[in-house]
Structure formats: C-alpha cells, structure tokens
Structure 1
C-alpha cells in the first residue's frame, strides 16, 4: 500500500463545523459555555476551547469550497457524524440537554437508558449538527474536561 514511510504521530486537533450564520453560531457556542479563543479572526472563523480538540466554526459555503465539495444540495439527512459531550452523571446529562435547548438547540432525542448501560440524549445546534450528551460505562470525564478511556 505504498512506500514504507515512517508513520506520523496521529492526533485529532480541530473539528470544524460549517455554519450558515457565523454571528449566531458563535453566540450559541459561547452561550453553551465554550470559551472562544483567537477572536482576532472576527467572524471569518471562530475557535473554541473544549477540553479536547478545538471546535472551529467556518461559513458553510467557504468550507465546502475549501474541501472542494459541492455546497448544495445541503444534506437534510444524517451526515454520518456526531459530536459528543460526555458527562459524569445522568443528572448532568439532563442538565446539559435542558441548557442546550434553552440556548437555542433542538432536541433530537430525549435522554434515556441505553442498551450498553449508559444514559444518552441528542440535541442539534442551529445548523443541525447533532450532539450526543452521554454518560458511558468505563469512560470517565476528568477534572481536565477530557474523556479518559480504559486500556
């Protein structure tokens, strides 16, 4: 499968979402409590601290051009990607879902017990990007806000 090149160190550093209205999306993610960094970029691009990979926002059409994919038709169906907000307790899951909805998110699926022993619900941001809010067995959330996985 190609030349025997040394493998680079793998890392996921940024997740970028294409958005319709930069100002509204920036306000939404700030209202959820994510801290915006490098705000000198104005409304051209926005970056937020998440406790893990950086969350980026970029105008949908420009992001489509950047990756050389058609901007339309925009998918109304599931896009095969979700973001996750792992929690420590079921009460935290409920509180996060309620808070996100109070800030303009849409409820996709109420929180419920899962068949794998967790507790999960979904909301969508103003552009329809789905977020799972979840407590999952064996995935701990540390004081550093990161998900810690067992070996």
Structure 2
C-alpha cells in the first residue's frame, strides 16, 4: 500500500469457538448470562452479545473445515489462547468464578493474588476453552461493562 492511502481500520468483531456439542454449549453460555442473538440460526451457529466482540459457537469439525485445518487430533493441552472476563473488584472475581462453576464450568485455577498486583483465577467451558476472570491494574471495567485501558 502507498503511504498516502490509509489502511483499513483494525477491529476484533467476533471470537468463534469450536464446540463438540453446540446444544450444551449454547445452554452453558446462556446460563452464564450472555444474551443470544440471531436465534433464527438454530443450532447451526450461535451468536452471543458480550458487550464487546461477539462470541460465536460453531461445531468444532465444521469450524476446522472452514479454516482449512485438520479436525483431529483435537488438542487436550493448552491451545495458546485464553478468553478473559475482566471484573471491577476482587469480590467480583470470586463471584464470577463461583457462578461459572455453578453453571458447569471446570475450575482450572482458584482466584489468587498475581505478581503484577491483580487478582485472577481460571475456569474452562465444556470444551476446555480457558477463561481468565481477573481484576488488573490499569484495566477498568466501566458502568457500560466495557473494558477501559489506561493510556
């Protein structure tokens, strides 16, 4: 591209998770309180409003085929990514972790003080996608539920 022509505006709009049982995953994310949108898609694909990027659920094998990646073997270890649920307080971290576990999540790591001055713990969804639940210095959760980063 020429230096005179601006490039596209970068944005992250959707995070799609491959899931083994879309019905169970829809129920799990619904139970966490994410609002499902475009329900007319049935169980072909599910979209949830997260207050930021959309969270989409898509059958694992179909997502692998769409991304031109092998479906097997499916990873049973860390996949090199996590999702995050930022909180406003340490108490909220504890509440969210307990809530998620109560809705069927697996507790991966109890909440603890971090070496950077935060407080975090981890849970996994039914397909093992890890979520960090965290309050961290310099990251504020506003009344709009959106994350606001310090300059």
TM (norm. structure 1) is 0.97
Identify the residue that residue 100 of structure 2 maps to in structure 1: 100
Identify the residue that residue 45 of structure 2 maps to in structure 1: 45
Summarize the alignment of residues 97-136 of structure 1 with structure 2, pairs less than 5 Å apart: 97-136=97-136
Matched, 1:144 2:137: no
Aligned residue for 1:8, secondary structure, equals coil
C-alpha displacement of 1:39: 0.4
The runs of 5 or more residues in structure 2 that have no matched partner are: none
Q: Which runs of 4+ in 1 moved over 6 A?
A: none
Identify the residue that residue 84 of structure 1 maps to in structure 2: 84
C-alpha displacement of 1:7: 1.2
Identify the residue that residue 13 of structure 1 maps to in structure 2: 13
TM (norm. structure 2) is 0.97
Aligned residue for 1:73, secondary structure, equals coil
C-alpha displacement of 1:6: 3.3
When the two chains are superposed, the root-mean-square deviation of aligned CA atoms in Å is 0.8
Size of the alignment, in residue pairs?
149
C-alpha displacement of 1:23: 0.5
Aligned residue for 1:56, secondary structure, equals strand
Identify the residue that residue 72 of structure 2 maps to in structure 1: 72
